[in-house]
Structure 1
Amino acid sequence: MEAKRVPDDPNQTDHPSPNDRLAGAIERLEPALVGLLSTVTRERRSSGLWSLVKRAGIVLMFFLGLLVWSFIYGTAFGIHPTVIDPTVAQVEIDGAIGSGNVTSADNVVPMLQSLCKQPNVRGLVLHISSPGGSPGDAERIGAAVDTCKAMPLAKGQAHPPAARRRVVAVIDGLGASAGYMIALHADEIVANPTGMVGSIGVIIEGLKYDALMQKVGVSSYAYASGPLKTMLSPYAADTPAQKAVAQELANAAMQVFRREVMTRRPHLDTRTPDLWSGRVWVAGDAVRMGLIDKVGLLEPVEASEFPALQVQSFRPTRDVRGLVNLSTWVDAFRESLMARPVSLQ
């Protein structure tokens, strides 16, 4: 008997199903996908590594730059550069002299001490352009210059007078009052042809607010232990007795300044009118009076005084501790408003 043929399942065909086709396509693409993912991964790793290298390089360059800067301008960190070759140190005395200014004894004296301890610093040029300032700071800087002259030029050896370190002051523009007081400590004082020198005198100055306070209805009070204790207060007018004492102080300080000038400038013509009046003179007149030694410019003077030595400039800078110290700024602002005890200006 003939067997009955069972018809095929209408859902079954000889062609592969979509799932089979997708699986086959994935199998065929698998090597390519794996290769693509490997390439992307390598590139990302390489890019990340290169980015890390660049960042590390930037940080390294920053610290190298900071290191170079600290050696060049290292006084901001209390670091003073070492002079390798025989050198003339040109020290910049620029601007007002005194506390709160860049050119203060607190900044200049440590720099001078560091330089003059180095035997390779064979000479010193005080490059001065200053209207004056604090006599106390000027005296401290001048004393450091005198000490610098006496320091030996060779380690462990006391040098003869002929081998002492020579100091020359060169005044550019203005060398007045405290600026001139510093110049007095040099072996020779030179000023450029248009330079102005002198202003030998003392001033006590400040502001008075008492009249303004009366206008706006503000009053002040002070319980003092003596009648002179409130002298120079900005909140009240000085009494005649206080004015007399202030003038006496200015005159006494002036006598100290005057003796200093006469001692250090033995050829000074004391018969010059207005010599002690506080005026300044042009360089040519200052030479004739004996205030300075000659007229000249900075570079030619350095070349003639120190012909075989290179010149390196050193400028005082504020210490970082002073820059971040709020009291420094407060004190500077307060000094600009309050009466200053004594000023050579």
Structure 2
Amino acid sequence: MRTDIDKGANLAILELKGPILDANVWSESIQTLSKDSAIKGVLLVVDSPGGALSPSVELYEEIKRLNQKKPIVAYAEGVMASGSYYASLGVHSIYANKGALVGSIGVIFEGLDASELMAKIGIKPQVLKAGAYKEVGTFTRQWAAHEKEELDNLIQRQYQMFVQDVCQERKIPCKNYKDYAEGRIFDASSALSLGLIDSIGTKSDAKKALVRIAGIKEGEESWRGKSKNFDDYLSQVSHSLSQIFANIILRSVP
């Protein structure tokens, strides 16, 4: 993560943009902000369709810890969905552009069945395994019934974890999860009425709220920007290649 520092900065901008495939891309910046006593508040600018489950949860935990030290206001600039919504749950408050898309609270496991293609080109898999579920998610054949059941149980547990964290952080009833979860994605107005965000406005509105929450004077405002460079994108792409056939992912609708 490239860091551009303004001398005397007391607020910071942290951008969460693009697919979330590797939490390390952002973790370094979060740790830097946590240790910087001059920074009194952080604006988290989000425009991401989500990504893999583990790094999304990792970012949620790290952002939540940072918010306990200094206030964070998240701003949905375009898309704050699935993994990026999960990552944003632990902030002080969430603002959204009136044209933003928010939500997609759900979990999906994707895999391929390439058995017909392999048969056409004369490829036959040979497998030695120990454990009835060791080949779960294979792309060389259709999944067996017990494998599908195991994967479904796993996905349901991860889904419930996501929903529980939404309930806890947003203070909305878990019993009403079908209204705001189930993978549904909402416009900003609907997200506000459901309690998924706190306010609709511009980035400037979110920045003003952060200044107020951080308890600093408007005249003291100075910004330190955070943005991804080309090397960061290469790191994410490299990481994602190892998960291409099957992965538990959080993402918005196509």
Same fold by TM (over 0.5)? yes
Supply the distance in 1 between the matched residues of 2:238 and 2:61 (Cα, whole angstroms).
Answer: 29
Structure holding more strand per residue: 2
> Out of 13, 20, 41, which is 1:90 matched to?
13
Report whether the alignment pairs 1:166 with 2:78.
no
Distance in 1 between the 2:199 and 2:53 partners? 25
Pairing partner for 1:123 from 41, 44, 53:
41
Question: Relative to structure 1, is the Cα distance of residues 285 and 150 closer, same or farther in structure 2, using a 3 angstrom cutoff?
Answer: closer
1:201 and 2:111 are equivalent in the alignment: no
Give, as a single letter, the amino acid of the residue that structure 1 aligns with 2:58.
R
How far apart, in 1, do the equivalents of 2:231 and 2:112 lie? 30
Instruction: Verify: 1:343 aligned to 2:245, yes or no.
Output: no
Distance in 2 between residues matched to 1:311 and 1:206, nearest whole Å? 43
- Assess if the C-alpha contact under 8 Å between 1:83 and 1:118 holds in 2: no
SS at match of 1:121: coil
- Greater RCO structure (CA 8 Å; 6+ sep): 2
Inter-CA distance 331–235: structure 2 relative to 1 (3 Å threshold): farther
SS of match in other structure, 2:98: coil
Q: How large is the RMSD of aligned CA atoms in angstroms? A: 2.3
Partner of 1:173, secondary structure, is strand
SS at match of 2:162: helix
1:155-206 CA-to-partner distances (Å, cap 9, x unmatched) read xxxxxxxxxx210000122111110011111100111101111111111112
- Distance (whole Å) between structure 2 residues aligned to residue 232 and residue 169 of structure 1: 36
Structure with greater proportional helix content:
1
Of the two, which has the highest radius of gyration?
1
What's the CA shift for 1:315?
1.5
Letter in 1 for 2:225: S
Amino acid at match of 1:129: D
- Residue aligning to 1:218: 123
Give the deviation of 1:329 after TM superposition. Answer: 6.3
Matched AA of 1:93 = L
Per-residue deviation at 1:235? 1.2
Structure 1 position 276 matched with structure 2 position 201: no
CA distance in 2, matches of 1:120, 1:331: 34
Amino acid at match of 2:223: V
- Which residue does the alignment assign to 1:286? 191
| Residue of structure 1 equivalent to 2:58 | 140
- Deviations for 1:214-233, whole angstroms, at most 9, x for unmatched residues? 12221111111022111101
Q: TM-score, normalised by structure 2?
A: 0.87
Q: Structure 1, unaligned stretches of length 5 or more?
A: 1-74, 99-103, 152-164
Which segments of 5 or more consecutive residues in structure 2 lack a partner in the other structure?
212-217
* Other-structure match for 2:214: none
- Whether the aligned pair in 1 keeps the contact of 2:4 and 2:226 (CA below 8 Å) is no
8 Å CA contact 1:203–1:250 kept in 2: the answer is yes
